[in-house]
Amino acid sequence: MMSYSFCMLTAAAALLVPCHALNCPGLPELSDNTTLGGLLRLLEPILGPTWPFRREKLPEPQVPMGLQGLPISRNTEFSDVLVNFRQRLSRLEGALTLNGKITKAGEKILASNGKKVTFSSALESCEQTGGTLATPMNKEENKAILRIVEQYNTNAYLGIKESETSGQFEYMNGTPLNYTNWYQYEPNGKGTEKCVEMYTNGNWNDRKCNLYRLTICEF
């Protein structure tokens, strides 16, 4: 019982990305006659343990007998759940934005707990809540992170680290950076400053990882 509603909500959450038809960027293609069971199977490898809490395992998708084989578009109960879920989430985002609790940049949601901790502690608290350290991938995201840095008037660690090759920096998953916003003459640590902080002007500096910097996560 629990696993069915859990899967419904999981599937619904996956479809909350702004999209007008059933097809959403980043999701498998859905046809009008994709079945509910089919949808859950398609979503499983994407959502896997990534939602809502990345550490949790998803239960096996289970669809009640009566719903098996029914096209999503004709399953009014499922559509109602989706519409309701979208509205609810949008209201929740509104409330959190109004409160200054979250900042949005494209599909990313950014938030801070206001705590100043070392790089590894910051990363850990982001991951524990299903996110990762804020990682600006473009100007817009950099600006969104900067707004939080300004709010606390405190430098923040970013989700970027020095690679095996000193002087070269990469994302936490090891891929090379495709956007940078280094301060003049940075990075200058040459292997001695393996983390990256954002200054209160939005520029980046390579810096030691054991300092106390603002935690900003992306979700």
- SS3 assignment, position 118: coil
Q: Please, are residues 97 and 104 in contact by the beta-carbon 8 Å criterion?
A: yes
Residues 78-107 that bind ligand MMA (CB under 6 A): none
Interface pattern 164-193 for Ca ion (x via CB under 5 A): ------------------------xx---x
String of DSSP letters for 28-87: ----TT-BHHHHHHHHHHHHGGGSS-TTSPPPPP---GGGTT-BGGG-HHHHHHHHHHHH
Q: Which one of 93, 124, 127, 186 is in contact with ligand MMA (CB under 6 A)?
A: 186
* Tokens at 194, concatenated: 């393996």
Q: Which one of 161, 194, 207, 213 is in contact with ligand MMA (CB under 6 A)?
A: 207
Residues 107-146 that bind Ca ion (CB under 5 A): none
What's the CA gap between 58 and 7, in Å, rounded?
8
**Which among 26-34, 42-50, 84-92, 202-210 is the span making contact with ligand MMA, rule CB under 6 A?**
202-210
End-to-end CA distance of the chain: 28
* Interaction of residue 155 with ligand MMA, rule CB under 6 A: no
* Residue number, 10 or 154, with CB nearest to ligand MMA: 154
* Interaction of residue 162 with ligand MMA, rule CB under 6 A: no
